[in-house]
Amino acid sequence: MEKKIYDPSLAENRYRHEFKYLCSYGELMTLKVRLQGLVSLDTHVGESGVYNIRSLYFDDIYDTCYRENEAGTDPREKFRIRIYDHSSERISLELKRKVRGKTQKLSCLLTEEQCRGLMEGEIPVLQENSPALLRKLCLLMQTRHMRPKVIVEYERVPYVYPHGNVRITMDENISASNRTDRFLERQIPLRPILEAGQHILEVKYDEYLPDGIYRTIQSGNLRQTAFSKYYLCRRYHL
């Protein structure tokens, strides 16, 4: 069965609820069993049921994105470039915002040439049809010296439920690298950023979370966290 590449541009640009939990491997396995029959594995993954995500995060000379996450500032936003399964076939520039406790993700496609330029901190030459998102990043690179700061990589097991547009993801082997110049290489030096056996569960939905899913997640007594993967990875590379 051919694995499809998850396309972030297909997701609507609405604001959504998003909650993160720190989990042990055993807690994740227990949740997988309990969620059977309630949610379905995302069709974008193949028979393995997992795909790799690698993101290149940007921040300014004051580390504003890092410090705003640490302080819980609302609203806040951050830019990243993302690829899937170590492939440069589809490269996305994304802006993730958090406003009043809800999140929004905007995205546009990049060419490999544009991506490599951004990896080096070069401001791309804009064209008449350049996406608004790329224009905004270029402006921030000029005015706030926004530059690549860290690579975040992990394996994701995604589940979906259509009512409420629910998405539950189990992110394992979360690692970081400060070799931002090697973002598009298949093999790069990585450092684990959580204690051994620790992973992150994310729950995202629009207006409501169905009771069955809510009770299943709450039954695990999981530890909720407000810190993003970017923040956790930057702690080791500031």
* CATH number of residue 59's parent domain: 3.20.100.30
Within a domain: 64: yes
Q: How many CB atoms lie within 10 A of CB 90?
A: 16
* DSSP string for 145-207: --EEEEEEEEEEEEEEETTTTEEEEEEEEEEEES-GGGTTSSS---EE-S-TTEEEEEEEESS
Mean pLDDT of the chain: 90
Instruction: Provide the CB-side half-sphere exposure for 106 (13 A, CA).
Output: 12
High-pLDDT (> 90) share of the chain, %: 74
Give the pLDDT band (50/70/90) at residue 238.
Answer: low
134 vs 95: CA distance, rounded Å = 10
The whole-number pLDDT of residue 7 equals 45
The whole-number pLDDT of residue 47 equals 78
Residues 14-38 have pLDDT tens digits of: 899 999 999 999 999 999 999 988 9
Total domains, the chain: 1
Within a domain: 139: yes
Within a domain: 1: no
Q: Would you call 114 helix, strand, or coil by DSSP? A: helix
Residues 61-88 have pLDDT tens digits of: 999 999 999 999 999 999 999 999 999 9
- Domain holding 199, by residue range, is 8-234
The whole-number pLDDT of residue 226 equals 80
β-pairing, 76-84 vs 51-59, is antiparallel
